[in-house]
Amino acid sequence: MAQLTCQNVAIGYDGRTILTNLNFSIDAGDYLCIVGENGAGKSTLMRTLLGLQPAIGGRISWGDGLHKGDIGYLPQQTLVQKDFPASVQEIVRSGCQARGGWWPFYSREDQQRVAMAMDKMQITPLAKRCYRELSGGQQQRVLLARALCATEKMLLLDEPTAGLDPKVTRELYQLISDLNQGDGITIVMISHDISAATRYADHILHIGEPLFFGKTADFLTQMPRSWIGAVAKEVNRNE
């Protein structure tokens, strides 16, 4: 049974429809990358899946024991968030609030969850450090640990490697892959990197022309190599 299903979904904002007839499903343990040009509707789709804005049409349904409250979310960072004056541990622990915890009344289970998430992201030595003093890659690990505190089932990640250097990007992609392969967490990630998306994800959703959803192997055979190469070059140029 699918954890998430979209049937004839239409999305948009401010009364403007930007994407229609969107059909796909995600099973437990899938790794889906959402790709497409800027402005195609990737982030709008993610916000719609999270219930932060309504779908214009169609149906979004949850199954296999998954509810919207079981999802961990890592949005794109703003400049204000990057300068947030809290400790690493405080920020990671705040992810437990989605599960009903609230400082200072975090349970022992919450504390264990925080410790485990920080260990998985290899940031335990940074626990007392101020978040705004960290590097971009360290900050993303902190936010990913925070998202982990909210879920054991599904993570929605909106371009988690944006602005990071190649080495740090590879390390973060590997950590996300380990969560998927080792812990069985379903990953739904917006990526601007076609090469990385096809390397790590087992399913691809391309928003734009043409609209595509399917296995990564089918994406690579059905989409022209010249098109994939052109998109990759455009991404590199924009970076």
By the 8 A CB rule, do 203 and 212 touch? Answer: no
Q: Is the sign of the CA dihedral 45, 51, 55, 59 positive or negative?
A: positive
How many helices (H) and strands (E) would you count in the chain?
9, 9
Residue 19 reports pLDDT greater than 60: yes
The per-residue pLDDT for 230 is 47
pLDDT recorded at residue 187: 97
Question: Which residues does 216 contact at the CB level (< 8 Å), separation at least 6?
Answer: 197, 198, 201, 202, 203, 204
pLDDT at 169 over 90: yes
pLDDT at 138: 94
Higher pLDDT, 84 or 129: 129
| pLDDT tens digit sequence for 69-79 | 788 999 887 66
User: What is residue 222's predicted lDDT score, i.e. its pLDDT?
Assistant: 80
For residues 157-180, average pLDDT: 93
Q: What tokens were used for 198?
A: 């096809």
Question: Which of the pair, 106 or 87, is modelled with greater confidence?
Answer: 87
Question: Do the Cβ atoms of 110 and 95 come closer than 8 Å?
Answer: no
> How many angstroms separate the CA atoms of 111 and 138, rounded?
21
What does the alpha-carbon distance between residue 114 and residue 111 come to, in Å, rounded to a whole number?
A: 5
pLDDT tens per residue, range 93-146: 988 876 654 555 677 888 899 999 999 999 999 999 999 999 999 999 999 999
Q: Which residues pair with 5 in a beta bridge?
A: 25, 61
Q: Tokens 């004839």 label which residue?
A: 8
81 falls in which pLDDT band (50, 70, 90)? low
Percent helix, strand and coil across the chain, each to the nearest 5: 45, 25, 30
pLDDT tens track for 222-231: 876 655 554 4
Reported residue count of the chain is 239
What one-character-per-residue DSSP string does 134-171 give? Answer: S-HHHHHHHHHHHHHHT-SSEEEEESTTTT--HHHHHH
Q: How confident is the model at residue 216 (pLDDT cuts 50, 70, 90)?
A: very high
Q: What is the pLDDT of residues 22-59, one digit of tens each?
A: 999 999 999 999 998 888 899 999 999 998 899 999 99
173-202 pLDDT per residue, tens: 999 999 999 999 999 999 988 888 999 999
Q: Can you read off the two tokens belonging to residue 68?
A: 């919207």
